[in-house]
Amino acid sequence: MVLQVAEGGGVPAPNCPEHDERLTVIVGTVDTGVPNRVTNSRCTINELIEDEREWTSQALFLKHVDKVLDKLLYDGVVDGREHRKIYRAARQSGIGKPGQTAGYRNLFDGTQSSFAKWQQVGGGSFGLNADGSMTSSTTTPGMGMLWFPERKYEDFSLKLQWRDDAPGTGNANAGVFVRFPQVHDHPEETRPEWVAIKYGHEVQILDRPDGDMYKTGSVYGFDRVGLGGAGVTPKGSWNDYEIRVEGQHYSVFRNGVLINEFDNNGGQDFYPPRGDDPGTDGRRYASGHIGLQVHGTTDVISYRDIRIKQL
């Protein structure tokens, strides 16, 4: 049989347990280096492993992985060496062990290896700190975005912590981008960071009492949250942020409190008007990437503990 590698843009079979078109088999955060092939069921190996499911014990997860791998070995999709590598990665992943956040996969856990999976586009930059957080630069000018190119997500719960580290008495203007397409070689936008701005949704971070009307929790340009509803905390404190996207329904939680809900129905225009903005009609993707905005050298923002769970 001919073995195929899943490439970006591939469409999985409708009955696949999850959507995962990464190039290699990755269990949790352990990259096996084994090609993420399309199997006889038209699902990729990663999709069959189901490492984002809520496993109640590691023994159950390992039993499942072993069963999947035995079938793939029988079908000739993997060989014996690859079977052992994937199973070993499943054990190393810790999935199902007590203390694991059920169903959530780390996108940034404070290590250099996880930070290296993100890519900066446009202006600005982020740097890794010794305490496992990342902070936007005070010296690299311009507006840009740090994004996670490894994969797209359909329905999900994204959890992270952020801290406003703007200098002096100011407040940082920042945001989390979700559900945007591949940023390079976009047919209608040559600036990669603007692909997220125009074709994804930005969930705003801004606790400043003046200036921009869209405060923390707003879906920028479409659904406004005022300062009174933003759940403002003292500057310099860490905030828990959860963004849930289910179908075209968006929910935003700050420190466990729901502060906004938004239905991404068609026909909604960006406000205030922006000439080339496609409105919600250009943002109704079923899946997309995750990104972190850097707005400028005075809009200093820190992030840590970024994780995601497919719903």
Which residue type occupies 122?
Answer: G
Domain boundaries, the chain: 4-93, 105-310
- Higher-confidence residue of 105 and 113: namely 113
pLDDT value at residue 37: 95
pLDDT bracket for residue 101 (50, 70, 90): low
pLDDT bracket for residue 99 (50, 70, 90): low
**Which stretch of 3-12, 94-103, 268-277, 290-299 has the lowest confidence by average pLDDT?**
3-12
DSSP letter string, 151-176: EEESSEEEEEEEEE--STT----EEE
Residue 179's region, left for phi above 0, alpha for psi from -120 to 50, else beta, is left
Q: How many CA atoms lie within 13 A of 158 on its CB side?
A: 27
Looking up tokens 């000439």 gives 275
Is the pLDDT at 14 greater than 80, yes or no? no
Express each pLDDT in 200-253 by its tens digit. 999 999 999 999 999 999 999 999 999 999 999 999 999 999 999 999 999 999
- Higher-confidence residue of 119 and 12: namely 119
Express each pLDDT in 54-71 by its tens digit. 788 889 999 999 999 999
Fold of the 105-310 domain? Jelly Rolls (2.60.120)
pLDDT value at residue 1: 41
pLDDT bracket for residue 100 (50, 70, 90): low
In terms of pTM, does the model score above 0.85? no
